[in-house]
Structure formats: C-alpha cells, structure tokens
Amino acid sequence: MEVILIDDVFELGKRGTVVRVADGYGRNYLIPKSLAIPATPGNRKMIDQQRLAMAKKESKYQEEAELLTQELNQLHLMLSRKSGETGTLFGSVTSKDIAELLKTTGIQLDRRKIILNQPIKSIGNYRIEVRPHSEVTAELLLSILMEGDEPVSKIKKKDKESDAIVAELEARLKEMKQSMATKRVISPEPEDRPPEEEAESRQREEEPEEETAAAVEATETVEGEAEAETEEQPSEETSEEATEEQEGKEEEEEEK
C-alpha cells in the first residue's frame, strides 16, 4: 500500500513524501502511530496544497533540530543499575529510559529518534546516536554505572569531571575483565594441599589401577585352567570309537 508520511521516519522517508510499504506495516504501525496517512486522492491533493507551508515548517524543524543537536552533543547522561560481578545488568536500559532522563531537563525527544539497536545490558560508556531530524544527527554520551547505596540518574555538561567519570568507569571495567580472566585460568596447585591429603589423593588414584590389574590377572588364570581341563578330557566320540574297536577284535579271536 502507499502512504503519505506526516512525520520523518528513519530509513523510510521525510514528512510529506509518498512511500510504498507492506500493508501490515502501514495499517498496524505507521497509521496508528500518526506517522502516516493513506495515500488517497483526497490526501494527495491536501498534501500538495500544504507542500509550501510544509516546506517552511520543515526548514523551521531543521533549524530547531540543529540547535537541539548542539545541546545534545554537550551532554553527559548517567544512569545506575544493579548488576552482577561481571557488570551484567539485572535488567536493561532502553531508548525509553534515555528519553525520560532527557525529559527531566526539559528536552522533549521522541524515543524513536534515539537510535538504539538493542537494549543496553552491561555497565560501561556508550555513544548513542540521536536523529532529531532526518538531516541532523547528534551523539549522546551515556554512562551506565553500578548502583550503590543510592541510584544515580542525572545529566551534566561535559567537562573535566565528566572525563574523570568516564576514565574511572573504563578502568573499573578493565579490572573486572582481568579478574574474571584470572579466575578462569588459575586453578589450585597440588602443593597447596596438606601432605596427608596429597597422599590420600594419590592412593585413591592408584587403587583402581591395582584392582583392575588384579581382576585381569584372575580372569586370565580362570580362562587358562578351563582350557587345560578341556584339553585333558577326551571327547565322547573318541571313547565310543575305542570301545567298538575293542569289541571287534574280541569277536575275530572267538571265530578263529
């Protein structure tokens, strides 16, 4: 279906343009979200009549977006979240969280203009792309901190203190990674155990081998004895043949 965009949609088009989209995307998302209207003949005519006014508004929007971008580029956002010892958050930080934090300073920004491909799930410093206008891009500095006794949720101008916070967080992340790597690599050395425990451990390791060897030897002995008995016992067929031969000789002697 074709729709007319009434607001900028990232990677789709600017307001006032006619675009072709999937029916479901248009009916279930763009139109209900007031991002577009159906491209009917009446709506097309209306947009054509409003195009000049829209061009003036567009120019004003872009100017406002450029001013907003200058302000956003100077901001350092800080949020704290509970996390594990590896820095993984018990939850996540989304574009909605960022938009709500900006709102506390009077900056009204649609969360859809905050380009976050997936929620943030680890502490660290992040550079977040923001598109207040299709032709204008800003970058937010966001630090996700480990939550202490009191939660942190604030915005400040970038300065030396801001640089120190970023550097301290980077150093902490590096220390955590090294600590986890050390835990994975280092294992307890045998000599760290008491002599008595070491002797018992060696004895437990040797016992199965001795038992296995004894079992194999016993099995071989039994098999050897069985084979010997089999060789010593004459077969029933051989015994019968010898008896018949003896009886035949006795009959021949009697006839003579």
Q: Is residue 256 part of a domain?
A: no
- Asked if residue 132 and residue 65 are part of one domain, the reply reads no
Q: What is the DSSP letter of 29?
A: I
- Cα separation, 67 vs 75, in Å, equals 13
pTM above 0.85, yes or no: no
Query: What's the number of domains the chain is made of?
Result: 2
pLDDT digits (tens, 9 = 90+) for 125-173: 999 999 988 889 999 999 999 998 889 999 999 999 999 999 999 998 9
pLDDT of residue 164: 94
Give the tokens for residue 216: 């194999």
Residue 57 lies in a domain: yes
* Closest to 4 in 3D by CA, of 25, 26, 28: 26
**Among 39, 22, 21, CA closest to 6:** 39
pLDDT digits (tens, 9 = 90+) for 186-207: 555 555 555 565 566 666 655 5
Q: Which of 124, 158, 185 is the last residue of a domain?
A: 185
Question: Domain of 24?
Answer: 2-70
Give domain status of residue 232, yes or no: no
pLDDT band at 180 (very low <50, low <70, confident <90, very high): confident
Q: 60-86 pLDDT, tens per residue? A: 888 889 999 999 999 999 999 999 888
